[in-house]
A = this chain, B = another copy of it.
């Protein structure tokens, strides 16, 4: 069975979408997607509100209540039947997120178990046959097939196969 490594944030969970929706509601303003191209969706928020956005990102409950990226659940279920699947999330920067990510994953993907989650800070020690991630910095060290999952902060990144959405992922892997 080939091993598949799938990222969490911006790939199956949607912290950016949740933050944008909250920001529009709180401040009546939109984000600047162009500014995200430096490699971080946080950069899309006006500089005067960076601190409050970062504070919310670190707060208790934020990662527990995130929406799903559209269409991922049935495709992940199919991948889980066909591959040795691990969900690998760079999470130790956010201490409150650790248990919340585990609880969130087991709620939305009841066919997965605790053995399939990896919470780390750096992904350079992870190996497998396929890896789907939204950050080139996580893919760069990976020895297997690398897939960059489309999101506004990586539109300018070149040199990787891309996956636009979970429908496309199903076509590739299922």
Measured between alpha carbons, how far is A122 from B127 in the docked complex, in Å? Answer: 13
What secondary structure prevails in chain A residues at the interface with B?
mixed
Given the contacts A95-B102, A98-B99, A99-B95, A115 and B126 also touching, CB distance less than 8 Å = no
Please indicate the chain B residues that have their CB under 8 angstroms from the CB of A3 in the complex.
125
> Is residue A170 contacting chain B, with contact meaning CB distance below 8 A?
no
Please indicate the chain B residues that have their CB under 8 angstroms from the CB of A125 in the complex.
3, 5, 86, 88, 118, 126-128
24 A-B residue contacts at CB 8 Å? A86-B122, A92-B102, A92-B114, A92-B115, A92-B117, A92-B119, A93-B114, A93-B115, A95-B99, A95-B103, A98-B99, A99-B99, A113-B121, A114-B121, A115-B122, A116-B121, A117-B120, A118-B119, A118-B121, A118-B125, A119-B120, A125-B126, A126-B127, A127-B127
Spell out A's residues near B (CB within 8 Å): 3, 5, 86, 88, 92-93, 95-96, 98-99, 102-103, 113-122, 125-128
